[in-house]
């Protein structure tokens, strides 16, 4: 999966924006398929450190678009397994060190492909190894997680760890009460959350904190109305959402903000029609793909988060997405109830 931006841009080719744009399902499917074949560009290699996440973004987007089999399953599975490291984690590409973020992406892809059994056939006790890798990265004093053996801590890694463990039915390996305590310590005077105690509130960090509370079954620990009020203030007059006060809108915040609001039951505080129209304007209607904002280059990251946001908004023609797991709801239900 290539993470190369472009070639298209959001909006129409001549810089004009359609007044009544539609969701370009087939174009997006073709766009994601084409990414798998763009290995002759330097950027393909410069984005190697994100490859496994790129596969997760592309595959999830295809599921939401109703084309779950548009990429070759065997190739994806082989690639994911080739990123598995002896320490129990996954690197972003073969030969890269294990990291929490890519371990989560790999688990999400394995689950989406319904391939955990095949994974264990090749890596005996593979699920337990992953569980150990994640659990060892928890700071047992503060509750938060490091991303790798280097020790950088970030609420992203805490949420990623819990999410992967939940998909593997291994949440009991970590101290969940401590995670909840840590999230509480990241709450700011405006009701929202930053990346660490004292850090500025930021929509993407809000998603990781609220997601952690959701996985812990402790959404009661959030100050729901203050938090949702702050989140709803992220919507700008053009319909798009930003990450912090006085910053520009960006399609990826359609996910961080909406998913958080969905988890705490306040999604309807966003003006749905205006946000939908903003995301539509970010599509390249000719070659597919979604950009961060109209006029910019499309890429798989914004394509995925734009579609996931539209799915939460109930867009017809898209499969339902789970707001916590950021995976097709059907897949999440299969793995959690199965």
**DSSP code at position 16:** -
Q: Which is nearer to other proteins, 124 or 237 (CB)?
A: 237
* Closest CA relative to residue 307, chosen from 79, 125, 112, 61: 61
Show Cβ contacts of residue 25 under 8 Å, excluding neighbours closer than 6 positions: 65, 66, 317
306 is written with which tokens?
């734009």
Alpha helices in the chain (DSSP H): 25-35, 42-46, 51-64, 73-82, 100-112, 116-122, 126-136, 155-167, 176-185, 203-216, 224-232, 252-263, 272-281, 300-312, 329-337
Q: Which is nearer to other proteins, 143 or 239 (CB)?
A: 239
Q: In the complex, what is the shortest distance from the CB of residue 240 to other proteins, in angstroms, rounded to a whole number?
A: 11
* Closest CA relative to residue 139, chosen from 152, 127, 125, 129: 152
Which listed residue (7, 13, 95, 317) binds other proteins by CB under 8 A? Answer: 95
**x/- contact string, 5-44, with other proteins (CB under 8 A)?**
-------------------------------xxxxx-x-x
Helix (H) or strand (E) holding 298: strand 298-299
The answer to whether the CB of 234 falls within 8 A of the CB of 228 is: no
Which listed residue (9, 28, 63, 99) binds other proteins by CB under 8 A? Answer: 99
Pairwise CA distance, residues 326 & 319, whole Å: 12
Residue 66 found at the interface with other proteins (CB under 8 A): no
37 is written with which tokens?
């074949």
Q: What are phi and psi of 85, to 5 degrees?
A: -110, 160
Which listed residue (221, 233, 277, 330) binds other proteins by CB under 8 A? Answer: 233
Q: In the complex, what is the shortest distance from the CB of residue 91 to other proteins, in angstroms, rounded to a whole number?
A: 7
Q: In the complex, what is the shortest distance from the CB of residue 296 to other proteins, in angstroms, rounded to a whole number?
A: 15
Residue 223 found at the interface with other proteins (CB under 8 A): no
Which listed residue (87, 118, 120, 190) binds other proteins by CB under 8 A? Answer: 190
Residue 141 found at the interface with other proteins (CB under 8 A): no
**x/- contact string, 261-280, with other proteins (CB under 8 A)?**
-------xxxx--x------
Contact set with other proteins (CB under 8 A):
36-40, 42, 44-46, 48-50, 75-76, 78-79, 82-83, 91-97, 99, 148-150, 152, 188-190, 194-202, 225, 228-229, 232-233, 235, 237, 239, 244-247, 268-271, 274
């Amino acid at each position: 999966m290539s993470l190369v931006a472009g070639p298209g841009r959001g909006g129409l080719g001549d810089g004009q924006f359609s007044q009544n744009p539609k969701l370009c399902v087939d174009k997006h499917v073709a766009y994601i398929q084409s990414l798998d074949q763009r290995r002759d560009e330097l950027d393909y290699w410069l984005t190697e450190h994100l490859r496994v996440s790129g596969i997760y973004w592309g595959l999830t987007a295809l599921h939401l678009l109703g084309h779950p089999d548009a990429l070759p399953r065997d190739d994806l599975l082989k690639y994911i397994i080739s990123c598995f490291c002896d320490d129990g984690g996954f690197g972003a590409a073969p030969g890269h060190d294990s990291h929490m973020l890519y371990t989560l992406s790999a688990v999400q892809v394995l689950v989406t492909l319904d391939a955990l059994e095949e994974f264990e056939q090749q890596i005996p006790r593979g699920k337990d190894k992953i569980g150990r890798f994640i659990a060892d990265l928890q700071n047992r004093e503060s509750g938060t997680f490091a991303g790798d053996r280097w020790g950088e801590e970030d609420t992203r890694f805490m949420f990623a760890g819990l999410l992967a463990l939940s998909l593997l039915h291994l949440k009991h390996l970590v101290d969940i009460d401590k995670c909840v305590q840590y999230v509480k310590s990241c709450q700011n005077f405006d009701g929202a959350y930053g990346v660490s105690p004292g850090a500025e509130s930021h929509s993407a960090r809000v998603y990781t904190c609220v997601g952690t509370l959701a996985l812990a079954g402790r959404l009661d620990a959030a100050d729901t109305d203050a938090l949702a009020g702050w989140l709803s203030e992220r919507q700008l007059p053009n319909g798009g959402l930003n990450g912090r006060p006085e910053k520009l809108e960006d399609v990826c915040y359609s996910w961080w903000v909406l998913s958080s609001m969905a988890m705490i039951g306040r999604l309807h505080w966003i003006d749905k029609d205006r946000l939908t129209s903003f995301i539509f304007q970010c599509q390249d209607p000719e070659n597919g793909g979604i950009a961060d904002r109209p006029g910019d280059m499309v890429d798989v990251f914004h394509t995925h988060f734009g579609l996931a946001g539209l799915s939460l908004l109930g867009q017809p023609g898209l499969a339902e997405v789970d707001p916590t797991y950021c995976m097709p709801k059907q897949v999440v239900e299969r793995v959690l109830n199965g």
